[in-house]
Amino acid sequence: MDFPGEKLVIKLWETVAEKGVGNLFKPWQMRREGRVSIQLKSEELIMIAQAERHADLIRKGEAIIDASRNLLLSTAPDNTPQENKGDARLNPELANAACEISVADTLRREINTTRALLCAEEALQDDTQEPPNTKVDDDWLFRWRDSASEVSSEELQFLWGKVLAGEVKAPGSFSLRTLEFIRNLSTHEAEAIATLSEFIVAGVIYRDAKENLEERGVIFDTLLSMQDIGVLSGVEAIGMSMNWKSLDESSFKQVLTSNSMALILSGDDPSVTISLPIYKLTTIGQQVLRLGKFGPNIDYLNKVGQHLKGQGVNVVLAKYFDVAPGQIQWFDGRNL
């Protein structure tokens, strides 16, 4: 195996190639065979940059596509007034212009989709989880393609890449409703969501870490805006909490994950119930907030761990990786 996530990356490209998604990449898909080398990456990025330049020339009317699909630089347009204005036939120049606009638009969409696919690949490269046996739903994949093709900002392309990566790992992780939600996000909202994802622990946000949140620019107004767009609920409520019981009947065992870190909880009494004061995520929020690109906030996790330790359980802060859906392997643990 050349890199940790090779199997998942192969699964990704098999998934999109089977349905003709990312056609701009077809030659590279055929050559990859699971490889992700520096040379190959460089070739792909050069190809995308070249395609973007060509699309820009076509949009500006400075280039055309000939019958053999070659790109030709065009001469300055002839501004001579048209005669026979009463002719009902389509003006050939307008027809050609419409054709070129269509080509440029198609190329732009393919470029956007390709960039999102590269982000998906990057998200999977270090993931050691075994690929699932189930496939990504066809309708879901086509909806993803249509949505990803519309965005040109790096932040939103990254989000769409993470969405596809998550769906390849575990089909059904992101609903069609969530895809529609992401489709309507602004770049500013996407950036705020990415920052907020740093503070997700077991699908919730620990409420009593105001200093940590504000250090990253997450003030009360930020939380209210996340509530307004449907990511959070109960921001203004007081006393909202989340409880967890033991995963084992003989002793207390529980695991709360946050990005690449996990709080490993243990104790002698299996009847113990631990709790945290929280901001509650909506169903869409739980799905969308998996998509942030920030690493774990250790100071924040230490505060969460100390709060839980005060409830009579042992707490270990450790790194972890996914083994299979719902299963992790933790290492490099440190007692809090």
Ordered alpha helix ranges (H), 197-282: 210-215, 220-228
The answer to whether residue 320 sits within a structural domain is: yes
Q: How far apart are CA 28 and CA 9, in angstroms?
A: 13
CA atoms within 13 A on the CB side of 35: 12
Kindly state whether residues 100 and 211 are assigned to the same domain: no
Kindly state whether residues 211 and 240 are assigned to the same domain: yes
Kindly state whether residues 205 and 224 are assigned to the same domain: yes
The answer to whether residue 90 sits within a structural domain is: no
Kindly state whether residues 103 and 218 are assigned to the same domain: no
Kindly state whether residues 158 and 267 are assigned to the same domain: no
> Which ranges of the chain have pLDDT less than 50?
1, 27-28, 30-39, 76-95, 98
The answer to whether residue 284 sits within a structural domain is: yes
Kindly state whether residues 22 and 149 are assigned to the same domain: yes
The domain tally of the chain equals 2
CA atoms within 13 A on the CB side of 302: 6
The answer to whether residue 1 sits within a structural domain is: no
Model pLDDT, residue 82: 38
Q: How far apart are CA 160 and CA 179, in angstroms?
A: 9
The answer to whether residue 88 sits within a structural domain is: no
Model pLDDT, residue 19: 67
The answer to whether residue 91 sits within a structural domain is: no
The answer to whether residue 231 sits within a structural domain is: yes
Give the phi and the psi of residue 262 in degrees, each rounded to 5.
Answer: -140, 140
Residue 268: alpha-carbon gap to chain centroid = 39
Domain that residue 266 falls in: 189-335
Kindly state whether residues 270 and 301 are assigned to the same domain: yes
Q: For residue 66, what is the DSSP state?
A: -
Least Cα distance to 164 among 284, 4, 22 occurs for: 22
Model pLDDT, residue 51: 60
Q: Point out the domain boundary residue: 162, 183, 204.
A: 183
Q: How far apart are CA 163 and CA 291, in angstroms?
A: 7
Q: Point out the domain boundary residue: 153, 183, 213.
A: 183
Kindly state whether residues 119 and 163 are assigned to the same domain: yes
Kindly state whether residues 64 and 16 are assigned to the same domain: yes
Decide if 195 contacts 218 (C-beta within 8 A): yes
Model pLDDT, residue 87: 37
Kindly state whether residues 48 and 140 are assigned to the same domain: yes
Q: Point out the domain boundary residue: 165, 183, 201.
A: 183
Q: Is residue 90 packed enough to be buried (19+ CB in 10 Å), middle (13-18) or exposed (0-12)? A: exposed
The answer to whether residue 167 sits within a structural domain is: yes
Kindly state whether residues 159 and 219 are assigned to the same domain: no
Q: How far apart are CA 302 and CA 11, in angstroms?
A: 36
What are 101-110's pLDDT values in tens digits?
A: 555 666 778 8
Kindly state whether residues 173 and 200 are assigned to the same domain: no
